[in-house]
A = this chain, B = another copy of it.
């Protein structure tokens, strides 16, 4: 029985902006700041205050007029909303250039994800460690996923192996794939795939630069 379930709509753009606030808030906390207003947060992150206020709404934390939000509560609220309070284990497949960079990246761990081990099919890599985490043979992935109840897989294999390795992950019980390959994975509806697409970022940069250039040329003419 839905006892007045407040149908809270979570907007994805807001969700994606939360880590940015979190990063700034953590810095503020280290500086000993107790309170922060959306005005100030907005200035730091380069957005309009109204955007920030709307975004923070989804955490459920409330602020005080003329004062702002309590920094520690806000941090906890965001972490809590994102489920970043308790670290989640993840496996990474494809310990190449990008894969090892990710395995050593503190930013991921700070955001609630713990890359437990890397998997590869290169005999030269298997058995060694990267940033303190061991590289295991890909074959062992399914069994370990099951035994350790790992739900998140990070995919950094070459494109032609992506689909196959992803299927292996899913068969073993992985529920979410952080996909760094260019491949659009074909998965069932119960699997969550987050594709991290460098090329779309580059496309955005290219077009924005082109626009800026055109704009400048127009101004020069007039």
The chain A residues found within 8 Å of chain B, CB to CB, are: 10, 12, 15-20, 22-24, 44-46, 81-84, 88, 97-98, 100-101, 104-105, 107-108, 111-113, 151-152, 175-176, 178, 182, 184, 186, 190, 192, 194, 196-213, 216
Contact = CB atoms under 8 A, between A and B. Distances in A.
Given A45-B184, A97-B100, A107-B182, A16 B206 contact: no
Interface secondary structure of A, over-half rule: helix
Contacts of A111: 199, 202-203
A208 B107 CA distance: 20
B206 A84 contact: yes
B19 A203 contact: yes
A29 to B, nearest CB: 15
Contacts of A81: 207
6 contacts: A82-B203, A97-B100, A98-B101, A152-B205, A190-B212, A192-B209
